[in-house]
Amino acid sequence: MAVDANVIIFARIREEIAKGKTVKSAIDIGYKKATSAIVDGNVTTLIAAESTGAICGLGMRIKALANSYETAPMLLYIIIVGIIGMLAEKILKYFERKLTSWQEKREI
C-alpha cells in the first residue's frame, strides 16, 4: 500500500501544479486531497483481509454460508461488514479533521 499511496500523492501534487499552484502549496494540497483515498484503500484492504484470511468472524461466516443455500444470513453479514466499513470511514474522517485542523488554518 505504501507504493500506491506515493503514487496517489504524486498524482495529486502534479494536478495542483498543473492548475498553477506553487510547489509548496501543491504539496500541501496534494497531501490533503490524497489522505482520504489512502485511508479508503487501507480500510478496504483490512476488510478484504478479514474476509479472506480469517479463521473466525464475519468473513469466515460469509465464506461458510456461500456453499449453502442460506442467503439471508449471508446477506446480513455482508450488510454488517458494509456498515462497519462506513462507520470506520466516518470515524477516520472525524479524526483526520481533528488531527489535521492546523493544515486548514494554514491554507486560509
6-16: pLDDT as tens digits: 888 899 999 99
pTM (global) more than 0.75: no
Q: Tally the domains of the chain.
A: 1
Question: What confidence tens digit (pLDDT) does each residue in 54-94 have?
Answer: 667 776 777 777 777 778 887 888 888 889 888 888 888 88
Closest CA to 36 of 67, 79, 61, 5: 5
Domain range for residue 98?
2-107
pLDDT band for position 39 (50/70/90)? confident
